[in-house]
């Protein structure tokens, strides 16, 4: 009876593999030198629903029948190749189970079942050979035996297969005649956006067996895994095995396609709705109104966030890569809703991740190298790697330790994370847009100080932000009246006072659709407008002693912002209006942070170097004067220096004192004794 049932099951698999689709796939196996065949689950459903259910309930048994049927079909299609791989056989890999099992829901009822899970790869071990069929030799009678291997440890024969010997050892393992396969372990974690509030992320070990399945994904990749759930307990010496078991998955199929652009499911009705919305001439206005509707005002910041969500187009040239993602920094007084904006962006972005500077380390942001349970070291992906092709929201970036903050330099400009520690040298992708928030160093933003003086961030990071905005809490009668009414209505209704034109879920899908399908290209007119603005700003810097108003880095930012605006309207071309909007928002950002407070001129050195041109000139005068006086007296009397600067160069004593203190802090000058100065 059982034999008839087995024959019937193999016959059903034969029906699937005899179709043109699978005959072509089997014929391709010899060309690719492959021993695996991908089987689409929907094809099994179409042939027999009971067979599909059996595959989910008893995967090992039914997959062995599928392997036999696939090998028999290979013998018909390509007998020569079938003979060549006779010992290895064909492995059938199942793809596309319709139901995804969340990592949180995986439990004892799934043991032994075929499931499909999704998540981010946190770490991956090196590929190692593992023995599948071990050959042993009895040292007493030289008889050879083969033992099928499973589990973590090598299984020895129970007794000698020779009836004349029949002894229980000793046995010698013959490595040359045993069969090995490539083996790798991955650790997978649920998506950051799927973790319920206040919960820690769940993770699971995945075991990969076979040359075609190992090394197909690396840390930071988003993957779908189809496999059989297993459980194992830890064994302790002398005390035996623990009662509590740990779940793992024996992977049958792994697909790393999910790592590409946001893989949100968009139905045909939603796609139609998205395309209809994009035709609206006021689409940009509607998107801005739909961003954080509970937060009053900040129109220009919400506009910048729209550009951040959609992003520009990355360019991969033979010699260099140019990023498409936009980085934005918000510097604001306490209580200006910075954190709320960041939280909102993390929720609305198709792939968003939020972290705060206080609890963040360099390893947590980039990648950690940890010891592997199997020996050696493994790489575990950090926040910026997990946010690849998404948005990383970093709150209180100024509270991070300086040594940890350095870690984001490379990610912001090159969009990679390079690791060289613990014997591991690797480069991971971190193609993420960064939205950061910081508090002013003195509690409130001081408009009489430069941005670099207002915030305790190094200029190396400041210069990597495309747009920097200051959120100031300045009392203003009309604004305060409207804002208080907005806030009180919010508390009264427990809903945004104004209904957003685009619901959050649809906006999320709109962003994902635009990023997947639209790659805008600059038109000649838009290019001319950006060039005209850039040259006009540069020409203002011509002449001796004039500050530099704009650099090539800002020109690249203008292109990215213009592309993002075109993408928001689902346009494949960047028009003059996009260029104008990019110029307007860049000018607004420069007006807030790129103006020299003493000369009232645009000076990009404030962001690039941390000191405006006027301050650099004064520092140079002080240094040159000190060097001249040093030649005469060896050490310079501070009072004499201040007097000379005041009479000859019109630098007030208070300002000179401030600049001298700064140079002492930076290590340019030092005080050999009280009241005297010397160049370092």
In three state form, how does the secondary structure of 395-419 look?
A: ECHHHCCHHHHCCHHHHHHCCEEEE
CA-to-CA separations, 77 to 24, 42, 90, 366, in angstroms, rounded: 9, 24, 13, 49
Q: Are 90 and 67 in contact (CB under 8 A)?
A: yes
Question: Domains of the chain: which residue ranges?
Answer: 2-95, 103-259, 268-518, 613-679
| Segment 155-193, tens digit of pLDDT | 788 788 777 777 777 888 888 888 888 888 888 888 766
| 357 against 599, higher pLDDT | 357
pLDDT recorded at residue 599: 45
Among 68-82, 117-131, 412-426, 654-668, name the one with the lowest average pLDDT.
654-668
Question: Cα 499 from chain centroid?
Answer: 32
According to the CATH classification, is domain 103-259 in 2.40.50.140? yes
Side-chain-side CA neighbours of residue 518 (13 Å): 26
pLDDT recorded at residue 98: 81
Mean predicted confidence (pLDDT) in 256-278: 69
Alpha helices in 406-476 (DSSP H): 408-413, 451-454, 459-462
* Residue 145 pLDDT > 70: yes
pLDDT recorded at residue 544: 45
Looking at domain 268-518, its CATH architecture is: 3-Layer(aba) Sandwich (3.40)
* Residue 600 pLDDT > 60: no
Mean predicted confidence (pLDDT) in 451-464: 71
According to the CATH classification, is domain 613-679 in 3.40.50.1370? no
The class that CATH gives domain 2-95 is alpha beta
* Cβ-based neighbours of 182, under 8 Å, separated by 6 or more: 127, 128, 129, 130, 209, 210, 211, 214
Q: Are 558 and 583 in contact (CB under 8 A)?
A: yes
Q: Are 577 and 320 in contact (CB under 8 A)?
A: no
| Cα–Cα distance, 531 to 526 (Å, whole number) | 9
Residue 629: its H or E element: helix 613-633
Work out whether strand 171-189 and strand 203-209 pair parallel, antiparallel, or are unpaired.
antiparallel
Over the chain, what is the mean pLDDT? 77
Hey, is 64 helix, strand or coil? helix
pLDDT tier at 661, thresholds 50, 70, 90: confident
**Residue 664 β-bridge partners:** none
pLDDT recorded at residue 497: 63
pLDDT recorded at residue 610: 47
**Residue 98 β-bridge partners:** none
Model confidence pTM above 0.75: no
* Residue 58 pLDDT > 50: yes
| Segment 331-357, tens digit of pLDDT | 877 777 777 888 888 877 777 778 887
pLDDT recorded at residue 258: 46
* Cβ-based neighbours of 322, under 8 Å, separated by 6 or more: 314, 315, 556
User: In the structure encoding, which two tokens stand for residue 238, read together?
Assistant: 């002398």
pLDDT recorded at residue 479: 63
* Residue 495 pLDDT > 70: no
Q: Are 435 and 340 in contact (CB under 8 A)?
A: no
* Residue 542 pLDDT > 70: no
DSSP 181: E
* Residue 656 pLDDT > 80: no
**Residue 627 β-bridge partners:** none
Mean predicted confidence (pLDDT) in 359-383: 74
């Amino acid at each position: 009876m059982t034999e008839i049932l087995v024959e019937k099951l193999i016959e059903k698999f034969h029906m699937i593999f005899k179709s043109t689709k699978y005959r072509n796939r089997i014929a391709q196996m010899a060309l690719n030198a492959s021993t695996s065949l991908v089987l689409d689950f929907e094809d099994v459903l179409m042939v027999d629903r009971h067979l599909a259910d059996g595959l989910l309930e008893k995967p090992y048994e039914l997959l062995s029948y599928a392997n036999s049927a696939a090998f028999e079909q290979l013998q018909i299609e390509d007998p020569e190749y079938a003979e060549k791989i006779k010992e290895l056989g064909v492995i059938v890999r199942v793809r596309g189970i319709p139901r995804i099992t969340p990592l949180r829901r995986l439990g004892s009822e799934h043991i032994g079942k075929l499931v499909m899970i999704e998540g981010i790869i946190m770490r991956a071990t090196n590929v190692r050979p593992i023995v599948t069929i071990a050959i042993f030799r009895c040292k007493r009678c030289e008889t050879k035996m083969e033992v099928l291997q499973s589990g973590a440890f090598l299984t020895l024969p129970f007794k000698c297969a020779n009836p004349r010997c029949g002894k229980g050892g000793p046995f010698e393992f013959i490595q040359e005649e045993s069969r090995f396969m490539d083996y790798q372990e991955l650790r997978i974690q649920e998506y950051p956006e799927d973790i319920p509030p206040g919960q820690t992320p769940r993770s699971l070990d995945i075991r990969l067996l076979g040359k075609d399945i190992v090394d197909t994904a690396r840390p930071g990749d988003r993957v779908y895994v189809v496999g059989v759930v297993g459980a194992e307990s830890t064994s302790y010496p002398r005390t035996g095995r623990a009662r509590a078991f740990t779940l793992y998955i024996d992977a049958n199929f792994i697909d790393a396609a999910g790592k590409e652009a946001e893989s949100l499911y968009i139905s045909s009705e939603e796609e139609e709705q998205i395309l209809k919305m994009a035709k609206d001439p006021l689409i940009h206005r509607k998107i801005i109104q739909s961003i954080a509707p509970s937060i009053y005002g900040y129109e220009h910041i919400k506009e910048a966030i729209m550009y951040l969500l959609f992003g520009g187009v990355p360019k991969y040239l033979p010699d260099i890569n140019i990023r498409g993602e936009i980085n934005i920094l918000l510097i604001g007084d306490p209580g200006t809703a910075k954190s709320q904006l960041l939280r909102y962006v993390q929720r609305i972005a198709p792939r968003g991740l939020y972290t705060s500077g206080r609890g963040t380390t360099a390893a947590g942001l980039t990648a950690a190298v940890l010891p592997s349970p199997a020996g050696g070291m493994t790489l575990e992906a950090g926040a910026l790697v997990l946010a690849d092709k998404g948005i990383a929201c970093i709150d209180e970036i100024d509270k991070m330790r300086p040594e940890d903050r350095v870690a984001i330099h490379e990610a912001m400009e090159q969009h990679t994370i390079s690791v060289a520690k613990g014997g591991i040298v690797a480069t991971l992708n971190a193609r993420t847009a960064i939205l950061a928030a910081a508090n002013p160093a003195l509690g409130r933003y001081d408009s009489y100080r430069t941005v670099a003086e207002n915030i305790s961030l190094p200029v190396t990071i400041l210069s990597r932000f495309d747009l920097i905005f200051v959120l100031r809490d300045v009392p203003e009668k009309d604004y305060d009246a409207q804002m208080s009414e907005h806030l009180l209505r919010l508390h009264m209704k427990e809903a945004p006072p104004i209904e957003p034109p685009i619901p959050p879920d649809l906006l999320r899908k709109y962003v994902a659709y635009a990023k997947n399908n639209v790659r805008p290209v600059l038109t000649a007119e838009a290019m001319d407008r950006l060039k005209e603005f850039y040259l006009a700003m540069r020409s203002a810097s011509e002449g001796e002693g004039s500050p530099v108003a704009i650099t090539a880095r800002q020109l690249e930012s203008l292109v990215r912002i213009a592309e993002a605006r075109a993408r928001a309207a689902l346009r494949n071309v960047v028009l003059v209006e996009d260029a104008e909007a990019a110029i307007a928002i860049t000018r607004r950002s420069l007006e807030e942070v790129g103006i020299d407070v003493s000369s009232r001129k645009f000076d990009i050195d404030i962001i690039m170097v941390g000191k405006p041109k006027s301050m650099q000139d004064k520092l140079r005068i002080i240094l040159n004067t000190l060097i001249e006086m040093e030649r005469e007296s060896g050490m310079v009397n501070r009072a004499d220096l201040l007097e000379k600067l005041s009479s000859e160069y019109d630098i007030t004593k208070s300002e000179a004192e401030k600049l001298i203190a700064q140079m002492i802090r930076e290590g340019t000058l030092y005080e050999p004794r009280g009241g005297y100065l010397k160049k370092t």
